[in-house]
């Protein structure tokens, strides 16, 4: 018998990342095949961008891409709603955490200036952590603080897609065209996308979208 796959039920998961969940976050995710695909595709996308950029990673989580940012000579900032996740990042990253401006805050009301960063990175967030309505507010904030590039992870429906409920997570509801429009409405033009996970059961796929600010 094939294992039953869990279909995203549209419930936001934003408030779960504290205490034990934060401590075990990365060790649990390291067992997922697609975690490693996300790492590889992120490193490869970053390789095509200039060195010595300023980057902000929201939500920062355990700072999973920090070693790649360090390799590129980036000046690094991050923000997460959970101080426990930032503490976990500090423990995991060791010396690589030094010099990172890691803050606790809300992605929908960012404590950063307009176009403060060359590059904005956001993974495992807009698709299934916040509601569609909040995701749209967050995208406005991302656009405000990003100057040149963004790498944003989103779900995309490979059939015709449909509009998500405002009070549910987006999951993989939106079609490719709708995702490109959502990003472009926020001045992010998709220039490349990398598949990181397929969810056959809900006709969707998850991509890292590399965008240029227009
Ligand atoms: C699934 S984790 C993703 C972390 C990291 N980006 C990654 O790819 O592993 C979701 C993170 O979102 C954070 N979070 C939830 N709601 C948030 C909000 N409104 N603003 C900022 N961070 C939030 C959680 O604390 C958690 O660290």
Residue 123 CA from chain centroid, whole number: 2
Residue 3 in this model has a pLDDT that exceeds 50: no
Ligand 1 close to Cβ of residue 138 (< 6 A) = no
Residue that the structure tokens 């990365």 belong to: 26
pTM above 0.85, yes or no: yes
Domain at 207, CATH number: 3.40.50.150
Element housing 188 (H / E): strand 188-199
* Tally of domains in the chain: 1
Shortest CA distance to 68 belongs to which of 87, 84, 49, 88?
Answer: 49
pLDDT tens, position by position, 131-180: 999 999 999 999 999 999 999 999 999 998 999 999 999 999 999 999 99
- Within-domain flag for 5: no
- Looking at residue 151, the DSSP 8-state letter turns out to be E
> Judging by beta carbons within 10 Å of its beta carbon (0-12, 13-18, 19+), is residue 28 exposed, middle or buried?
exposed
Residue 120: beta bridge partners?
Answer: 56, 150
The verdict on residue 162 lying in a domain is: yes
Residue 144 structural domain: 19-213
In sign, the C-alpha dihedral spanning 84, 89, 94, 96 is negative
Q: Is the CB of 126 under 6 A from ligand 1?
A: no
- Choice between 182 and 4, residue whose per-residue pLDDT is larger: 182
Residue of 16, 80, 103, 196 to mutate, ligand 1, most atoms within 8 A of C-beta: 80
Which of 22, 68, 125 to mutate to test ligand 1, by most ligand atoms within 8 A of the CB atom? 125
103 lines ligand 1 (CB under 6 A): no
- In-domain check, residue 6: no
Q: Do 173 and 129 contact (CB within 8 A), yes or no?
A: no
Tens of pLDDT along 14-57? 788 989 998 999 999 999 999 999 999 999 999 999 999 999 99
147 CA to centre of ligand 1 in angstroms: 22
In a domain, 118, yes or no: yes
Answer whether residue 12 is part of any domain.
no
| Distance between Cα 54 and ligand 1 center (Å) | 20
């Amino acid at each position: 018998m094939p294992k039953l796959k869990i279909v995203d039920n549209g419930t936001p998961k934003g408030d779960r990342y504290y205490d034990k969940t934060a401590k075990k976050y990365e060790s649990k995710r390291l067992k997922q095949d697609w975690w490693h695909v996300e790492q590889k595709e992120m490193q490869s996308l970053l390789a095509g961008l200039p060195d010595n950029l300023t980057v902000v990673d929201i939500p920062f989580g355990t700072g999973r891409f920090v070693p790649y940012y360090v390799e590129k000579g980036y000046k690094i900032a991050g923000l997460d709603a959970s101080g426990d996740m930032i503490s976990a990042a500090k423990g995991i990253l060791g010396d690589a955490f030094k010099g990172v401006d890691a803050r606790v805050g809300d992605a929908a009301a960012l404590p950063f200036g307009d176009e403060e960063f060359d590059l904005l990175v956001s993974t495992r967030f807009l698709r299934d952590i916040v509601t569609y309505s909040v995701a749209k507010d967050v995208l406005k904030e991302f656009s405000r603080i990003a100057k040149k590039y963004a790498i944003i992870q989103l779900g995309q429906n490979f059939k015709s897609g449909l509009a998500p409920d405002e009070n549910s997570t987006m999951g993989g509801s939106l079609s490719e065209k709708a995702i490109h429009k959502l990003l472009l409405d926020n001045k992010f033009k998709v220039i490349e996308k990398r598949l990181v996970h397929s969810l056959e059961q809900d006709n969707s796929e998850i991509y890292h979208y590399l965008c240029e600010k227009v």
